[in-house]
């Protein structure tokens, strides 16, 4: 589907470029799908705000009935500043929270992601209840860099250390009421099934476990040949396995999910101006240089992530271009080869001129929030949230 030139060009003129535009209707569509999932014994959806912590987006999603998953205590604080009620925020962090006590006392839910974190929690909150993030032994991602499960991942307590968790829990007299897993971003249905089963194996080992949090990670298709993970199919597998769990153990598990990219990836378009066009002669490349790059969008350089790119003009003829950013770095590439961020690829695009506006699609997640901000001194792209669809 082509991006809407008539909607995008006036926004570029009005706000200037580079500009991230986020379309609320796209977020609403995804949020509605998430909220409509049916779980047999209760369900809490949260938004992994790391994907896009723009205050309007966080507030908008929360206003529709979705909580917040924070990846650091700073994010949890931000969410509270945006007005998110603390009891709708869950904190699952790689960092030992500097202000854990304050956050939990305000009502933030905590998931300990290492034995050390569990120990720290126990020192502050003995005789209470806590969730633990487990590394279930399987991982998956759209790139190895977004795979956060299995032996190559430091995320969560390794599944063979459940006895150690119990030892810490006994020492501080707390109850483990929740098992949390998140195996990666860009996970497809087959891996989801495996991760669900392994998560339930872990849950079974805690007699007081009443909640299973299965993280996020639904694969989002950004290019026409990519396939999104069907969230409703994942949900029906979860539901079926949870019912089986109840038959086998008598426990009715409440389900939590916390997608990020699923809710916002498709909502964003990055508008940039062509700053220069250069080439490297016969047999070389023609490069479109944008007035943006890895300081606003790092995913292509980091993961070889593919994003749709369109030159917003009425011209009809096309040409092969490599699209690059304006940072002084050959890795600042918007058209890497699939699966290889080191290698340049080209795209057939509408013939371009310096000054044309280019739209980069599906940049609502992990772009503005995860870029090399400030590199080369470039200011970050502006961000606007608009009604309607892209």
Ligand X SMILES: Cc1ncc(COP(=O)(O)O)c(C=O)c1O
Q: Beta 129-135 vs 175-180: how paired, if at all?
A: parallel
- Say whether residue 222 binds ligand X (CB under 6 A): no
Say if CB 149 and CB 199 are below 8 A apart.
no
- Say whether residue 192 binds ligand X (CB under 6 A): no
Segment lying near ligand X (by CB under 6 A), choices 31-39, 202-210, 212-220, 271-279: 212-220
Residue ranges in the chain assigned as alpha helix (H): 5-15, 24-35, 55-63, 73-81, 100-106, 115-124, 162-172, 189-204, 231-249, 261-264, 299-303
- Nearest-approach distance from CB 69 to ligand X, in angstroms: 5
- For residues 191 and 271, which CB has a smaller minimum distance to ligand X in the complex? 191
- For residues 185 and 251, which CB has a smaller minimum distance to ligand X in the complex? 185
Selected binder of ligand X within 18, 139, 261, 325 (CB under 6 A): 261
Sign of the Cα torsion 371, 374, 377, 382 reads positive
- Say whether residue 185 binds ligand X (CB under 6 A): yes
- For residues 122 and 186, which CB has a smaller minimum distance to ligand X in the complex? 186
Segment lying near ligand X (by CB under 6 A), choices 160-168, 216-224, 235-243, 335-343: 216-224
Binders of ligand X in range 47-106 (CB under 6 A): 48, 51, 69, 71, 92
CA dist 77 and 93 (Å) reads 13
Count interface residues toward ligand X (CB under 6 A): 16
Selected binder of ligand X within 259, 268, 325, 336 (CB under 6 A): 259
Supply the DSSP string of 155-176, one letter for each residue. SSEEGGGHHHHHHHHHHHT-EE
- Say whether residue 217 binds ligand X (CB under 6 A): yes
- Nearest-approach distance from CB 248 to ligand X, in angstroms: 27
6: Cβ contacts below 8 Å, ≥ 6 apart: none
- For residues 135 and 327, which CB has a smaller minimum distance to ligand X in the complex? 135
Length of the chain: 390
85: Cβ contacts below 8 Å, ≥ 6 apart: 107
∠ Cα 171 173 177 (to 5°): 120
- Say whether residue 325 binds ligand X (CB under 6 A): no
CA dist 115 and 276 (Å) reads 52
Binding mask 3-42 for ligand X (x = CB under 6 A): ----------------------------------------
Contacts to ligand X by CB under 6 A: 48, 51, 69, 71, 92, 182, 185, 215-218, 258-262
């Amino acid at each position: 589907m082509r991006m809407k030139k008539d909607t995008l060009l006036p926004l570029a003129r009005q706000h200037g470029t580079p500009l991230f535009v986020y379309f609320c209707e796209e977020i609403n569509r995804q949020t509605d799908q998430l909220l409509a999932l049916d779980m047999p014994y209760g369900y809490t959806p949260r938004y992994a705000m790391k994907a896009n912590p723009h205050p309007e987006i966080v507030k908008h999603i929360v206003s529709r009935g979705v909580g917040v998953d924070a990846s650091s205590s700073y994010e949890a604080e931000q969410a509270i500043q945006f007005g998110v009620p603390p009891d709708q925020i869950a904190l699952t962090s790689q960092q030992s929270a500097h202000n854990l006590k304050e956050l939990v006392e305000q009502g933030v839910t905590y998931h300990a992601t290492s034995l050390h974190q569990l120990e720290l929690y126990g020192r502050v909150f003995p005789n209470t209840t806590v969730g633990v993030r487990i590394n279930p032994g399987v991982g998956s991602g759209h790139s190895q860099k977004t795979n956060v499960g299995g032996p190559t991942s430091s995320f969560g307590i390794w599944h063979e250390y459940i006895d150690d968790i119990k030892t810490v829990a006994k020492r501080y007299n707390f109850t483990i009421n929740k098992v949390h897993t998140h195996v990666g971003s860009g996970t497809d249905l087959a891996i989801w099934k495996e991760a669900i089963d392994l998560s339930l194996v872990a849950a079974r080992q805690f007699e007081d476990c009443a909640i299973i949090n299965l993280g996020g990670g639904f694969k989002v298709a950004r290019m026409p040949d990519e396939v999104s993970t069907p969230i409703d199919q994942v949900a029906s597998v979860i539901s079926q396995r949870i019912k089986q769990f109840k038959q086998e153990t008598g426990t009715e598990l409440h389900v939590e999910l916390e997608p990020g990219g699923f809710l916002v990836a498709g909502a964003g378009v990055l508008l940039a101006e062509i700053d220069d066009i250069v080439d490297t002669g016969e047999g070389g490349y023609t490069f479109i240089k944008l007035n943006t790059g890895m300081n606003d969008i790092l995913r292509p350089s980091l993961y070889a992530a593919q994003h749709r790119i369109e030159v917003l003009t009425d011209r009809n003829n096309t040409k092969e271009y490599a699209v690059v950013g304006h940072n002084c770095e050959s890795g600042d590439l918007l058209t890497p080869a699939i699966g290889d961020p080191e290698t340049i690829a080209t795209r057939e695009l509408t013939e371009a001129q310096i000054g044309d506006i280019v739209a980069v699609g599906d940049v609502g997640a992990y772009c503005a929030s995860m870029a090399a901000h400030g590199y080369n001194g470039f200011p970050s792209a502006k961000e606007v949230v608009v009604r309607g669809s892209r």
